[in-house]
Structure 1
C-alpha cells in the first residue's frame, strides 16, 4: 500500500498537476495540504473521476487539508486538532483508510519569529503532540502525514546556517519534532534513508529547484506497530520541476501487507 503526502499550494490552480500525479503514480492513500479553497469549491468531481474517494476540510484562501483513498471512501474520524476551541484554521483531518488510521496535517509556518505567529505554532505543536500520544496509546496502526513546517536536522536543509533564526529551524520546534520521535513515532523517510540528503520543498526564488537548494519539511511519521511493514519511502521529486508546480514535491511510503492473523 502506497501512502503519500502532497502540499499542493492551491488545489484550484494546480488541479491538473494533482490529477496527473494521481494518474501516473496511483497512490492508495493521499494526504493533501494547502488546498486554499472553501469546502464548496473542492474539486471532488474530478477527483472521483480519477478513481478516488475523499474527505476535506477547506478554508478560503488559506490552509486546507484532505484525505483521498483510491477506490474507497475514507471514514472520517476527526476534523480539527483538539485542545483549542478558538482555533478554526483548517489544519488537521483524520480518517480510517484501508485498515490504517491516517492523520493529515498542515502545521503553522510560524514566521516571523519571535512574534504571535511563532507562539501560535508552539502552542499548536503542544496540542498535536498530546493528540499523537493518545493515538499511540491505542496501539493501532497510524500514519501522521503532512507538511510539518519543521526542518528536523542540519541534514535536512541546504545551508543550515542561513536558517538558524527561521521558525522552521528554531531549536524549540526542532525539539518538538524530537519529542514526537522520543514518544515512539518513526520518521519513515529518514528510517529508510538515514544518511542521504533528501529535500521535499524548494522555494520559487533564485532558481532553488535547479540548484537543489531545498528543505525537508514534509514528513510521514509511523506508529511502532507499522514499522515492520515499512518497505520503502521516497520523494516524487520530478513533479516539482513541472509547469505550474507546487513548491513541494509529493512524499510517499510503501507498506507491505499486514501479517496474517
Structure 2
C-alpha cells in the first residue's frame, strides 16, 4: 500500500500537477494540505475519472486538508476532538485497517509571536488527541506538513535557523513527545542521502541552491514499522513550472 502526502499550496492552482502526479504514481492514499478552498469549491470532479474518492475539510483562502483514496475512507473525523479551532487543519479516517491522520500544523510565524503561541497550544491539544486515538487503534499513520524540522540534519543551514521558527527547541520537543507515544519518523528508518528536503522557499532560488528543509513527515506507529518497506521524497514536482513550494513524501507498506 502506497501512502503519500503533499502540501499543494492551493489545490486549484496546482490541479494539473496533482492530477498528473496521481496518474504516474498511483498512491492508494494521498493527503493534501493547504488546499485553500471552501468545500463547495473543491474540484471533486477532477479526481473521479482518475479513480479517487475525496474527503475534504477546507476554508476560504487558507489552510484546508483533503484525503484522496482509491477505496472508501471510513470513520471520518474533522478537527481535533475537544479543541475549538476555526482553522481547518486535521482530517482523520480509516483505510484498509490503518488510521490515517492528515495534519497541517500551524507555521508559527516567529518564536514568541501570537501565532507561535497558537502553534504551541495546537500541538498540546493534538498530542492529547493522539493519546485518545491510540487507545482504539494500533495501526496509525500521521502525515502532512508538520512545519517542524526534526533535527539539524533536516535543515540546509542549521546555524542560520537555530532557535528560529520551524527549528526551535519548543517545536522539536513537541515533535519528540509525539514520537515518544510510540511513533517513528518513517524517513529515518532507512539509510538516506544527505541534503534531502521537502520544502524550499520560493525566494532566493532556494530550490536550485538546495536551501531546503524536511518539514513534511510521515510518522508510523510501532505496529506498522515491520510493514514499512520504503520512505522517500519525490522532488520532481518542485522543479515544474509554477510548483508548490513543497514536494510529495511517500511510504510503501507491505
Q: TM-score range by the shorter chain?
A: over 0.9
TM-aligned CA deviation for residue 195 of structure 1: 7.0
Residue 218 of structure 1: aligned partner: 216
Counterpart Cα distance in 1 of 2:83 and 2:129: 12
Counterpart Cα distance in 2 of 1:113 and 1:170: 8
Counterpart Cα distance in 2 of 1:133 and 1:205: 38
| 1:140/1:225 contact within 8 Å kept | yes
> How do residues 37-56 of structure 1 correspond to structure 2 at under 5 angstroms?
37-56=37-56
Deviations 1:134-166 (A, max 9, x none): 222334211011000001100000001111232
Of residues 153, 166, 170 in structure 2, which corresponds to 1:168? 166
Counterpart Cα distance in 2 of 1:227 and 1:84: 30
Q: SS at the partner of 1:62?
A: coil
Residue 108 of structure 1: aligned partner: 106
Q: SS at the partner of 1:209?
A: coil
Residue 83 of structure 1: aligned partner: 82
Residue 191 of structure 2: aligned partner: 193
Counterpart Cα distance in 2 of 1:15 and 1:155: 32
| 2:238/2:244 contact within 8 Å kept | yes
Counterpart Cα distance in 2 of 1:4 and 1:148: 14
Residue 176 of structure 2: aligned partner: 178
Counterpart Cα distance in 2 of 1:190 and 1:67: 24
Residue 141 of structure 2: aligned partner: 143
Counterpart Cα distance in 2 of 1:146 and 1:27: 15
Residue 97 of structure 1: aligned partner: 95
> How do residues 24-39 of structure 1 correspond to structure 2 at under 5 angstroms?
24-39=24-39
Question: Please, what TM-score do these two structures have when normalized by structure 2?
Answer: 0.97
> How do residues 241-252 of structure 1 correspond to structure 2 at under 5 angstroms?
241-252=239-250
Counterpart Cα distance in 2 of 1:2 and 1:91: 22
Residue 8 of structure 1: aligned partner: 8
| 1:37/1:60 contact within 8 Å kept | yes
Structure 1 gap segments, 5+ residues each: 257-261
Deviations 1:1-36 (A, max 9, x none): 000000000001110010011011111101100000
TM-aligned CA deviation for residue 209 of structure 1: 0.7
Counterpart Cα distance in 2 of 1:48 and 1:98: 20
Q: SS at the partner of 2:207?
A: helix
Question: Please, what TM-score do these two structures have when normalized by structure 1?
Answer: 0.94
Counterpart Cα distance in 1 of 2:48 and 2:34: 20
Q: SS at the partner of 2:135?
A: helix
CA RMSD of aligned residues (A): 1.2
Q: Which moved more, 1:131-140 or 1:93-102?
A: 131-140
